[in-house]
Structures are given as structure tokens and as C-alpha cells.
Structure 1
């Protein structure tokens, strides 16, 4: 009797894990079934992966949205990663314990801010700045990337800070005692030991950037042609799904294309998780 009571929590946990797995498989299966109308076409690669999006003429090329997703994510990470790493290094090495606690709590709060707030800030501040400095409309891939950089900055900073904090202080002290300079200790000891956590944090930031929708939708411009530059309006996979989900009811070919776009995003997230497990463990 006692053994069965002890095994009950394990059974509940196992059932919960199995249910979670079934839900995930069901979601993937529903996207595959929904998108099969497009995936089963003979010219699916030529059509879906082209650069032309014109649903009224039956052209559903995802090239502009894939390019927009990559461009916006790269801009955001190029801005956010150096700032987040610099903040984490300064905080872990120079701040007192109470100051570190304040910083950690502040980053926690910023990660919980709704994305629509960042989007509204982007409309008020970033779009006019981009318009003034590029001469374009302001609503652009660049504006979306800058807004997204601010969004992922707290997440990256929190991951990087905790990764550096997990490096034992004795490692720093031993390096300094052996004659290493503070810069050598940072680059050759601290960052090297924290590399698995830094890699995991970076991949989480990439996933956050690729999957963000609302804030990006508010400032990107919504242009469905292939972008001519970072100052031009564009769209991403996520923003286009939001834009067209009411225009294409279930059962239509357009809705099947949206299922394919969602499936691409899920495959991308799966790849990032696998990379996080492999690179984070071997770094």
C-alpha cells in the first residue's frame, strides 16, 4: 500500500508528460494535414518557396517572409547580444550582491512586459527615428529589428548574467593569483566556463526573435514583396499569418499555405532546441 502511494506522483508526472507529448504531436499532425493541400502539389518547392505573394492569382511564395524573418532577427541579435553580454559581464564582476539582485529582478520584470507595449514604443520613437535617418516610410525591417532588439535584450541579459554567475568565484581568484590580468581572466576563464549557458541563452534569444509577432507587426510595414533593403517595409512569417488568418477560411488553399508557414516555424523552433541541447552541452 505504501509503495503504491509512493508511486502515485511518478505516475501522475508520467501521464502529464505523455499528454504533453500527444498534444505536441497532434499539433504537428494538424498542421501537416491542413497544409497537405499545398505540400502534396507537384510544384510545391517552385511555388511556395518563390518570391511572389499574390493570393488572388494563386501565387503563394514565402520568400519575402522568410527573408523578412531572417533580416529582422539578425538585426535584433546584432544589437541585443553585445549589449546583453556587456551588461552581464559588468554586473557579475563589478556590482555588489544587492545591486545584482536589483538588476536580476529588473530584467525579470522587463521580460514580462507585453509585446504590444514595445510595439507602441516603436511607433512613437523608433519609426520616426528610422524615417528621419533613412528617408523612407519608417515602418520597415530596420524598425522591427530595433524594437525586437529591445524585447530580447532582457531575456538575453538574464541568461547571460546567470551563466556568468554560475562560474565559481574560486576560478577567478585562482587565475588572478597565477598572474592573469582581469581581461585574461574574463576571456580565458570566466567566459569559457560560462560558454554552455551563454550558448543556451543565445539560442533562446533567437527563438524569441523568430517567434515574436505583435510588436513586429506594429512597425514592420506589412509589405508582401521581397524586401529591397533594411529600410524598406516587409513582413515575417508570423506577421503574415496574423494578417491573413481571417482572409483565408479553413479549407481554402490560402489557409493551407498558412498551415505550411506555421509548420516551418515549428520546424525552426525544433532545430533551435536541438542545437541548444547539442551546443550547450558540448561548448
Structure 2
């Protein structure tokens, strides 16, 4: 445990030291970095400041993450209710192995499926290139759905059986018991499942990179090319020189990702500690 803690601190220190160099060594304003919309690290604006606005990538990351979570969560909870409360035998024998198989599929496979199926469909329905936040959202939804479903199943299964029996004995219907007793009792676990799904979606790189278009511009439409923090990192990190501004700003993007990951971890721990959020 101590070794893991030390390793985590070393990673945080390494990423933070690299990421903060943009602001303390290259003298880039934190506000201009977070709010700027022009991402061209090799060029300067009229005042001689580098164009390193990260807002388009931050907006793209939050856009695909929130939309994917918004779509995947009700589907996952519905599937979990079916597997545990309505058809537990079918769920355990058929759906559970399928979900476990989907969880283990590499992200590049989801990206290839999105590139060959989702992008052409988007192009046919909405025009343009087909790349964009909408395509990335569909791919991420499919990716996080098995994870959220599996965690939701565990949360619902953990609800004591006598809660259901007491509700039914008082005259509640099956659906009243599920909605009023089971889901409320499992709320902490369901929220944890949602946060884990969002954490995976926010940090996903390869699958999103293949379908979002990788255009470092402020997204104005769901069906126009955009970018995320991870897509810019994976595309650009190998083409920069360590110590230069172009490299430091990429580490700053990595620092934003790390801070968001820590935020998700803190939220999960708070949910687990409090039991539920009222």
C-alpha cells in the first residue's frame, strides 16, 4: 500500500512539474490557457503571446463525457433492473457473460467500429464529414455502458432481500418496490457507477480520436469535427521537443486530465463514505 501511495505521489509530482512549466517558465497566463479558443502553440498573437487556448479541447472532453453519461446511465440502470429484478436467471446466464465480454474489448476495436459504421451513418444523416462530438458520444456510450451496467447490477444486488419483502408485504406493487425501495437503497452504488463511467469516458483517447475529427476548434455543432484533451495529447506528444513550449502545453493538458481524474476519485470516495447524497 505504501509503495502504491509513493508511486501515485511521484506521478502527480512529475505531471504537475511538467504541466506547471507552461505558466512559470514560459510565462503563459493560466486564464488565457483555460479560456483561450485558439490552439496554435507554434504561433504568437499580436501581443507576442503564444496561442495556447485549451478551451476547445476542454469543452470537447466535457461534451462527449456528459452526453455519453446522459445516454448510458438510464440504459444501464434499466438493464440492471431487468437482470436482477425481472429476469435474474436469463440475466445471470446470458446477459452477464455478454457484459463481461464487452468490458474486455480493447478501445481500438470500438474506435474501428465507430470509424466504419457510426461515422458513415452520421455523414449520411447529417451531412458533412461524419466526424464530431455526436460520433464520439455514440462510441463512448457503447464503451461505458457495460461498465456502468455491471456496477449497477452489483449495487442493486446488494440491496437486502427483506427490503423487497417488507415493501411487498405492505401492499406495494413490483414496480413501486423497485422504484421506491430498491433504487433508493442502491442510490449510492448507482452514483458510483455513474462516476466510474464518466471517469472512463473522460480519459478515453484512442476510440474518441478515431471518430471525433481532431480539429482544435471550439465546437459549435455535434456533427462538426472537434477534439478532446486526450486526442490532442496522443496526436501531438510525439512531435514535440521536451522542454519547449509546444511540449510543456501538452503536459498542461495532461495535468488537467489528472486533476479531473483526482476529482472523480474524490467524488467516488465521498459517495462511499456518506452512503448516499441527499
TM range (shorter): over 0.9
> SS at 1:113's partner residue?
coil
Residue number in structure 1 paired with 2:46: none
SS in 1 for 2:238: coil
Deviation at 1:99, TM superposition (A): 3.8
RMSD over aligned Cα, in angstroms?
1.4
Question: Of the candidates 46, 51, 65, which is equivalent to residue 37 of structure 2?
Answer: 51
* Partner Cα separation in structure 1 for residue 177 and residue 39 of structure 2: 52
Question: Within 5 A, what are the aligned runs for 1:32-71?
Answer: 32-40=16-24, 43-49=28-34, 50-57=36-43, 58-71=50-63
The 5 Å alignment of 1:88-167 reads: 88-97=80-89, 99-167=91-159
Q: Which residue of 2 aligns with 1:13?
A: none
Unaligned runs of 5+ in 2: 44-49
1:189 is the counterpart of 2:181: yes
- Shift, 1:42, TM fit: 5.0
Please list the CA deviations of residues 122-167 of structure 1 after superposition, one character each: whole Å capped at 9, or x if unmatched: 0111111111221121011110010000000000110011111111
Give 1:267-282 correspondences, 5 Å limit: 267-282=259-274
Q: What does residue 20 of structure 1 align with? A: 4
Q: List per-residue Cα deviations over 1:16-61 (Å, max 9, x = no partner).
A: x111111111111111222232121555223311111012213111
Pick from 14, 19, 30 the counterpart of residue 14 of structure 2: 30
**Runs of at least 5 residues in structure 1 that lack an aligned partner in the other structure:** 1-16
- SS of the residue corresponding to residue 74 of structure 2 reads helix
- Map of 2:216 onto structure 1: 224
- Within 2, Cα distance between the matches of 1:221 and 1:125? 15
Contact map agreement 1:84 1:156 (CA 8 A) in 2:
yes
- SS of match in other structure, 1:69: helix
Per the alignment, residue 246 of structure 2 pairs with: 254
SS of the residue aligned with 1:59? Answer: strand
Q: Given that residues 156 and 201 in structure 1 are in contact (C-alpha distance below 8 angstroms), is that contact kept between their aligned partners in structure 2?
A: yes
Give 1:261 deviation, angstroms.
0.9
Q: Which one has a bigger Cα radius of gyration?
A: 1
Which ranges of 4 or more aligned residues in structure 1 deviate by more than 3 Å?
96-99
The one-character-per-residue Cα deviations of 1:247-278 (angstroms, maximum 9, x if unpaired) are: 21211111111111111111111111111111
CA distance in 2, matches of 1:280, 1:125: 39
Alpha-carbon distance between aligned partners in 2 of 1:266 and 1:201, rounded to the nearest angstrom: 20
CA distance in 1, matches of 2:79, 2:140: 18
SS in structure 2 of the partner of residue 56 of structure 1: strand
Residue by residue over 1:71-102, the C-alpha shift from the partner in whole angstroms, topping out at 9 and shown as x without a partner, is 11112112211111110111111214364143
75-84 or 205-214: which moved more? 75-84
Q: Which moved more, 1:94-103 or 1:157-166?
A: 94-103
Judge conservation of contact 2:212–2:225 (CA < 8 Å) in 1: yes
Distance 1:78 1:98 in 2: 27
Given that 2:82 and 2:91 are in contact with CA atoms closer than 8 Å, whether structure 1 keeps it comes out as no
Change (3 A) 1:42 1:235: same
